Every structure is written in C-alpha cells, then in structure tokens.
Amino acid sequence: MRKNSPQVPSPDFRGKEEYAWIAVGSIEQIALGQGRCFLIGARQIAIFRLRSGEVYALDAVCPHRGGPLAEGLVGRDTVVCPLHALKFSLKDGRGLDNDFTVRSYPVEMRDGNLFVGLPPRDQS
C-alpha cells in the first residue's frame, strides 16, 4: 500500500457484492479531515476523509431537520451536524447522543479513485 493512501473501513454491509459501485472520482477532491457532498444516483451522499486515512459515506441529509452533514465537524470517527449539533458515528451512521440513524454506505478505493456502493434496492 502506498504511503498515506486512504484506508477504507470494512463495516458489515451484507450482500456487498450485489451493490452497484458508483465512481465518485479522486480522493483528492475531499480535504483531509472534512466531508463533501456528492450527488450519487438520486441520493446526496456525504463522503468523509479522515486525517487517519479512513473514508466513510453517509446520507448527506441529517435525519433530524435536514442539516448538511458534509459540512459538519468531523472528529476521529464522528460527525457533528452543523445545525443543532447532534452527533453521529461515521462507521455506521448511528446517533451517538440521539435516537436517529443516518444511512451509511460502503466505500472502496481503486487506484486512488473512490467508489460508493448502492444497495440493490436503490439501483432502479
């Protein structure tokens, strides 16, 4: 593995081989320690590039009142929504100080390019 190349987590996305892998482009589009919103299919998906090199993807719209999660404060493995400061896990989208859950997506790196996996039910 190349030095400083992004590490992609491998959370439990069952049936991942059936996902449609959508190319997003170079990891360099996302500043270290920040998120960026991408339109992927019909979804707004926030992709977060951590300073540790890990990359995560969540729905970009906060389930509380629609805040832009890609603009949230990124921690070691959390994001804080910029509107009302609810905190979510980047690993699985679980609310850490609330009962909401943000949908999470698998991410893969291939030759420096990001791919986000959309589950079969989102492909039509």
Q: Which residues bind ligand FES (CB under 6 A)?
A: 62, 64-67, 81, 83-84, 86
Closer residue to ligand FES (CB): 84 or 110: 84
Least CB distance to ligand FES at residue 51 (A): 23
Least CB distance to ligand FES at residue 15 (A): 29
d(CA 90, CA 78): 5
End-to-end alpha carbon distance in the chain: 35
Closer residue to ligand FES (CB): 81 or 118: 81
Closer residue to ligand FES (CB): 54 or 71: 71
Least CB distance to ligand FES at residue 80 (A): 8
Least CB distance to ligand FES at residue 14 (A): 28
Closer residue to ligand FES (CB): 8 or 69: 69
Q: Extract long-range pairs of 9-14: CB within 8 Å, 24+ residues apart.
A: 9/54, 9/55, 9/56, 9/91, 9/107, 10/106, 11/91, 11/92, 11/104, 11/106, 13/105, 13/106, 13/117, 13/119
